[in-house]
Structure 1
Amino acid sequence: MSKAPNRPRRTRGQEPDGPGVPARRAALKLLDAVLRRGLALEQALDSAASGLAPNDRGLAHAIAAEALRRLPDLDALIDSATQRDLPDDAKARFALRIALVQALALGTPGHAAISTVLPLVDGGPRKLVHGVFGTLVRQGAALPEPPTLPDPVALRWHAAWGDQMIEDAERAVAVPPPLDLTLRDPAHAPDLPGKSLLPGHLRLDEKALVTGIEGYAEGDWWVQDLAASIPARLIGKGSGTALDLCAAPGGKTLQLAAAGWAVTAVDVSESRLARLHENLERTGLAATVIAADLLEWQPREPADAVLLDAPCSATGIFRRHPDVLHRVRPSLIAEMAALQSRLLDRAAAWVKPGGILVFSTCSLEPQEGEAQLARFLAGHPEFAIAPISPNELPEGVTPREDGSLRLLPGALAESGGLDGFFIVRLRRS
């Protein structure tokens, strides 16, 4: 017999959780996983929300994600109402973050926000949480708009990109990004409310359950942020061989296959490749899929086009995954940059003379973009930048003077924005 979801949680000496409490308990576990253990929010979700019904699972994720978007401001409010600052990892601070973000950002009535959080703390901290929450509500506390970036992130990004980027990033983190679709065949676009920012792209006016959107079952499209679709677009149409390296979850593989390439998709994660297999079947597209470590694997022969969307810190997708603002440290950035260098050197050998190599990272760190390009060109004189032209990009987005592309948070902000990326197209002589 299957276990019923949302069964009240009972431990020795405690009453079972009441309505609404399991979702908040899961949200607390998610915050703990990100802030104390350094896990990605999505990585921690299955464990933290185990046994929850889909609605409660979604609520737990929404609470935790919104708290991570606004963490510095939530902590500032909490600190303003306590005689002594609570430790960063104190359960009372976690509980207050969850209660306050619901009441001040998610529209939860104050009594529901606090009553569903108090069961998460015992003893004296329960009185403290209730008192601090009540004080702030009576004072008419509010969260600033836009939210404040964590100090380490703001300092790092300001040094790299300046004042305007910080302002744009703070506005970008305030709102989850829109839903972008890449069309299998641009000539047969589904009749959905939205706008196209590039051929074969549709940005929906409203979010919806993906499997319920027209054309899903028929494989007419797949979900893919517009910025993430640009690297494969730069390879264009072709009938030769293409390698999609670090391919999962597979949007770029689908693009290349739809553009006529004979694609080999390689990724180290079998579990993440499962979604690629599903999407290939759903769309009717074909690719050879291989689970392998790129530091050990190599193709039988070079390819006409190679796409390396390299593992990175993923700080460019902070709108979608605000956990990166809190768990990515300089040590991780350095580790990812070193891995990218090794992968780039290997990928370079797999490009035929006259062929194309596209390198990209969804990172806002120069070490994972501009510095990688400079190092690579210095060590590989057989490659040169094949400049990206403005007509290959959405209107309002322009390449850098050297022909590469750096997408910062302010890009297309008036149309829903773009994830942060570094992208360069190289041709082998």
Structure 2
Amino acid sequence: MSVFNRDDDDGISRGERAVLVLPDIAGTKAMRSVEARLDEAAGLAAAIGIEVVARRSVRVRAPRPASLFGKGQAEEIAAAVADEKAGLLIVDAALSPVQQKNLEEMTKAKVIDRTGLILEIFGERAATAEGRMQVELAHLDYQAGRLVRSWTHLERQRGGFGFLGGPGETQIEADRRMIRDRMARIKKELEQVKRTRGLHRDRRQKAPWPLVALVGYTNAGKSTLFNRMTKAEVLAEDLLFATLDPTMREVKLPGSGKAILSDTVGFVSDLPTELIAAFRATLEEVLAADLILHIRDMAHPDRDAQAADVEAVLESLGLEEGKGPPRIEVWNKADAMARDEREALAGEAARREDVAVVSALTGEGIEALRVAIVERLGSGDDTRAVTLSSSEGEKMAWLHARGKVIGQDSDGEHITMKVRLSAVDWARFQAL
């Protein structure tokens, strides 16, 4: 849902015909093949019902400030749009406002870049009030510098974000002021949400269950794994960004233990900086986790590039490899791999302590993953002596639930317990 509407109401139309163009810019290094990048961009378009009727890569030796492409290339793109009777041109790159406007004039079609496309998807999918505010803030931040379109009535609700609507040139200054005012209000509301989330996080940290956060590239199978482990019914489809808002459920672990499993938004290559900033509050759940599960689609040809993109976002949160909570790489979609590849992967995983091979779809390897979670959560535990008064039953129960009590003595008034606790849990206990 969008939280604003424009004067014109011809936003996204499912089934809209589009031509997809990937600028292959000389001198830039890409971990993915051109075909793989085109496939992902087409998947993004399909996620909001856009029909890509033609797609091509265009070699760009020197990006043009006015239109990105050279004159001849722009003419060829315009001809392709006309031949396909497409009303939309998708450019899988970031366009400046001037480039977007000039390409619209050249092609006589609506133009959307990669950032706008991803924001459009997020605008349609965000379900919670916080998610909608975060997406709207990201959109307004993106749109503030371009204003090649015009809208009013920021308070009304409509699906999508209207990037694909027709042009408008009126009330630019009024729109700019409305954007600034609206952004200020949203930021104030999000600060309140952040404080509330912090209070909830503090309460969770006092609970005797660890928090396990799922992260991964979009469509890696996070939500399917979440459903498999928690018996929840979170939307899990073969669709980019099928779920956006974080979900938490209790999960049972071997030895009568429990944990809270948190499913987060999927990552994607070249994730717009506006969205990283807007969703930082949501991603802060990862910072508070006791354990991170990095879900990887091992059947995907670009699995290494996808993993690098996830690591880049985690690094932006201050979670470089070796810092923050311990991690387990969950090598998912084992059922989709050839037998010889599965065997090679299983052999590699057996040599590592931080890897689990699973199929979230069939359930293969899930019980072994539960065991690995318990072992990883318990790694690095220290034995600590804790003396409590006999009236502090709540704290004693917390230590029994969260740690491993290996002995205790009592003098009638005080009880001294020897308990194995991780550094994270020790800090939490001291905060009780």
TM-score for both structures, normalised by structure 1: 0.25
TM-score for both structures, normalised by structure 2: 0.25
Higher percent of residues as strand:
2
Larger radius of gyration: 2
